[in-house]
Amino acid sequence: MNSEKSDKNEKAPKDKNKVVVQIIWGIALTLAGIGVFFRIPQVMPRIEKIEQFASVMVFIRFSFYLLGMLLIGGGLKKIYIHFGILKDR
């Protein structure tokens, strides 16, 4: 019975470290998504100059904004879930 308690105590710091790493990863994803939104206006004029992409500019712009939203949403979801796990401990 004592060995079960010691096993749980030994695993707790490792699990806590994994949760903290996941929270940091969520923050990185969120910041990357925000960076995409700031970068789109700078990159789009260069992409518009490429003749092959002229007919699909709406799709390209939509894809960039979707990518940014998915990064932000995924990062916030990861932060929310793992912060809840960390809070419960």
Where are the domains positioned within the chain?
16-88
Quick: pLDDT tens for 40-62. Answer: 999 999 999 999 988 899 999 99
| pTM across the whole model | 0.79
Are the C-beta atoms of residues 46 and 8 closer than 8 Å to each other? Answer: no
Q: What is the pLDDT of residues 16-31, one digit of tens each?
A: 889 999 999 999 999 9
72 closest CA partner among 18, 27, 6: 27
